[in-house]
Structure 1
């Protein structure tokens, strides 16, 4: 197994282990890391000595994975390297599809901060493990993007409208809420994280605590089952109570375009295969890279950190159907994503 900066590969008792080791950047994934992991998963998928694959953080850093490195993407785009934006998402979705369709047991230990593409990296594994340190959020609408990497596929499997709620608000959940949402399969005490393997997980897992997410589920289903983002925002504004007020505040800073396309994407993804969802994700990613809000969101929250994005348009009512249609439009011939691309 080759040595790769920021990713450690090893084989332990039949389990191929992938450990992310870029703690200073919350294990955010560079293109080099993605390609290295994809190559290793490809090799282990057909290696008879490997009985399962585990993805986890190395050491005791605070994050499992913060997703694709947005700073690296922004710097490449600012330098005129548009190809980086095409290749990083193409290869990332290829990796996610390979993990999701791997015939061997795949296990993600989402111990710590898990955000954006890090959610997808874990969610497509068959065994999804959390600890009391797990802190998961898909806050992509806040940076002018959308929950990608097949999020529309696995969020549509959540009970009721919980997936839509998580995708639009970017609200963070701890392990107990993630169990209720169906995004985790096991919980393990932090001191036993080093013992986890596909074969041992059932022996060291503990019962998850009861989630308070069930207490607000009726509100979530009523509001986030409405016919669009303007309706959702309107009902939240009209309602009294702490939940409605807090949820409206969660939606307030998000890109209006991102909210509208995320709502449409989750609705149209219902019943579709992961491959179909990833193909749509790739179209959206490439159109957003060439637009305004995604670059502005990265600037505001990652580069300058003034947290004052100037969204275009700035109001939900100004997001047109034509603008959304353009974001979902097919790419030029030869540019579409497919598992073999």
Structure 2
């Protein structure tokens, strides 16, 4: 929820890579990517919480005092590849770029993408492209609410739940099955404004 706002603002097309592949970042990678500000050893967390509770006006200072230098970010080794292969906002271009690379890394990421819902991947790319242009987090939330309300009613959501959670067969049959069969009209319908009175609005306090 709201992730598109943050992912779209990461450099080097990292947000697009994360959104499409579902890759997870560890602590060192979060610091390297600019998502995290401090890197604390796990054994320091309890002390950090206690000191912040006691001195809530010194959060930044407390974290700086307890933080350590993170180890090298593993993802940094592939930063140039990510920037190159995930450069386009067109899903077919990303797949083609990875197909042209005979490295083990490209083959692994291509196999990951091939297992994903083509519809979801195209929605994710458009979501990040549009989110980057929005002027406020509220506008982003409005867009994401539209997406969620439509995607929940599409076949791929139920199919993904079936294949991964219910049957645990990990053999989803996506509909549409191929990226080229996911039309612009379908994507447009997922992003279209909701009827009057159904749009997301910030909670008034």
Could you say whether these structures have the same fold, taking a TM-score greater than 0.5 normalized by the shorter chain as the test? yes
The structure whose residues are more often strand, as a share, is 1
Matched, 1:153 2:15: no
CA RMSD of aligned residues (A): 1.4
Question: For the Cα contact (< 8 Å) 1:171–1:250, is it kept in 2?
Answer: no
Q: Which residue of 2 aligns with 1:271?
A: 133
What is the CA-CA distance between 1:221 and the residue it aligns to?
0.9
**Which residue of the other structure, out of 15, 27, 43, is the alignment partner of 1:191?**
43
**Which residue of the other structure, out of 274, 299, 303, is the alignment partner of 2:166?**
303
How do 1:237-256 and structure 2 match up within 5 A? 237-256=99-118
Matched, 1:340 2:192: no
Distance in 2 (CA, whole Å) between partners of 1:336 and 1:196 is: 40
Matched, 1:224 2:68: no
Alpha-carbon deviations, 1:123-152, whole Å to 9, x = none? Answer: xxxxxxxxxxxxxxxxxxxxxxxxxx1111
SS in 1 for 2:147: helix
Distance in 2 (CA, whole Å) between partners of 1:157 and 1:264 is: 14
TM-score (norm 2): 0.89
Alpha-carbon deviations, 1:37-89, whole Å to 9, x = none? Answer: xxxxxxxxxxxxxxxxxxxxxxxxxxxxxxxxxxxxxxxxxxxxxxxxxxxxx
Which segments of structure 1 move beyond 4 Å, counting only runs of 4 or more?
A: none
Q: Which residue of 2 aligns with 1:262?
A: 124
What is the CA-CA distance between 1:196 and the residue it aligns to?
2.1
CA shift in 2, pair 1:188/1:227, >3 Å = closer
What is the CA-CA distance between 1:271 and the residue it aligns to?
3.2
Matched, 1:162 2:14: yes
Distance in 2 (CA, whole Å) between partners of 1:290 and 1:332 is: 16
Stretches of structure 2 lacking an aligned partner (at least 5 in a row): 53-58
Distance in 2 (CA, whole Å) between partners of 1:159 and 1:291 is: 31
The structure whose residues are more often helix, as a share, is 2
Q: Which has the higher contact order (CA 8 A, sep 6+)?
A: 2
Question: For the Cα contact (< 8 Å) 2:38–2:67, is it kept in 1?
Answer: yes
Distance in 1 (CA, whole Å) between partners of 2:112 and 2:34 is: 22
Distance in 2 (CA, whole Å) between partners of 1:259 and 1:213 is: 21
Distance in 1 (CA, whole Å) between partners of 2:30 and 2:99 is: 27
Question: For the Cα contact (< 8 Å) 1:283–1:329, is it kept in 2?
Answer: yes
Aligned length, in residue pairs: 193
Q: Which residue of 1 aligns with 2:23?
A: 171
Alpha-carbon deviations, 1:249-283, whole Å to 9, x = none? Answer: 12111000000010011011113221111110000
